[in-house]
């Protein structure tokens, strides 16, 4: 597989967790990486860490809910590196609430970032891709909502399922511009949020995964790296499940 040298990648929600894994893999594969995150300090720390490895990365503060903020980020990335080749639209929130607790503010919070924020990211990065006739967009969805449900995560699941509808429509809209749009669907990934869950839940989760372990953030990064490659040129509007076999057992989905 060709390296990503001379490619410029924007990774949203890149300062920690899955986003950090994605940004790290893309940078180590040769891409110049924009670490786009609302947590500017954390983004700077990751940029410094990658820079210490001799990799090309820079931090960009962005509020994905505000279209103007996203446009400014994309403009700054293009000013620094000249273009945008890859967008990993990864940022999202993972709150939970029982049915009787869900109000409009909760729904707005989840959908604003998990769906609207992704749309803003695509809209802001697309002009640079169209200008050069090349682009790779990879959305971070989830097996939750697209294949399975989880109690208290119904709105989260709805937001992740909505991404696939967005992906399929937009993939058709931009395919003749030389741009592909695909989605990864992770299961349980070893992130600070997941590791903070109670021990009983973690034991139950591990029993449900045939591989018997959580995914590492960089394993998710490698899936993005493939879909962001030149070799993935004939793949668009598709999904890639990364779940350690969680959906395989009969009755699991």
What are the phi and psi torsion angles at 182 (to 5°)? Answer: -135, 170
Helix axes 17-28, 40-52, angle to 10 degrees: 30
CATH 3.40.50.720 assigned to domain 8-240? The reply is yes
What is the percentage of the chain residues whose pLDDT exceeds 70? Answer: 99
Mean pLDDT, rounded, of the chain: 96
User: What is d(CA 85, CA 134) in angstroms, rounded to the nearest whole number?
Assistant: 7
User: What is d(CA 78, CA 64) in angstroms, rounded to the nearest whole number?
Assistant: 17
- Which SS3 state, helix, strand or coil, does residue 250 take? coil
Exposed e or buried b per residue across 151-161, where buried means at least 16 C-beta atoms within 10 angstroms of its C-beta? eebbbbbbbbb
- Provide the token pair at 3: 């390296």
Q: In the prediction, which pLDDT does 1 show?
A: 84
Mean pLDDT of 147-176: 97
User: What is d(CA 221, CA 207) in angstroms, rounded to the nearest whole number?
Assistant: 24
> Mind listing the pLDDT tens digit for each residue in 70-122?
999 999 999 999 999 999 999 999 999 999 999 999 999 999 999 999 999 99
> Mind listing the pLDDT tens digit for each residue in 24-79?
999 999 999 999 999 999 999 999 999 999 999 999 999 999 999 999 999 999 99
Q: How many CB atoms lie within 10 A of CB 71?
A: 16
Catalytic residues: 156
């Amino acid at each position: 597989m060709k390296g990503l040298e001379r490619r410029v990648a924007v990774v949203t929600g890149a300062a920690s967790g899955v986003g950090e894994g994605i940004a790290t893999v893309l940078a180590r594969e040769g891409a110049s990486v924009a670490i786009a995150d609302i947590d500017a300090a954390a983004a700077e720390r990751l940029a410094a860490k990658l820079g210490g490895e001799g990799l090309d990365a820079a931090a960009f503060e962005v509020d994905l809910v505000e279209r103007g903020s996203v446009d400014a980020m994309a403009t700054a990335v293009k000013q620094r590196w000249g273009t945008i080749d890859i967008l990993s639209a990864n940022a999202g929130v993972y709150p939970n609430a029982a049915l009787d607790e869900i109000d409009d503010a909760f729904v707005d919070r989840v959908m604003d970032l998990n769906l609207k924020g992704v749309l803003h990211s695509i809209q802001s990065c697309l002009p640079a891709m169209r200008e050069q006739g090349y682009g790779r967009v990879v959305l971070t969805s989830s097996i939750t909502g697209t294949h399975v449900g989880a109690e208290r995560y119904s709105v989260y699941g709805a937001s992740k399922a909505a991404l696939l509808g967005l992906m399929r429509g937009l993939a058709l809209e931009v395919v003749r511009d030389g741009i592909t749009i695909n989605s990864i669907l992770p299961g349980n990934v070893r992130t600070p949020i997941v590791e903070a869950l109670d021990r009983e839940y973690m034991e139950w989760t591990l029993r449900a995964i045939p591989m018997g372990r959580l995914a590492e953030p960089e394993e998710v990064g490698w899936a993005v790296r493939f879909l962001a490659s030149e070799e993935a040129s004939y793949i668009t509007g598709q999904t890639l499940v990364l779940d350690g076999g969680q959906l395989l057992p009969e009755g699991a989905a």
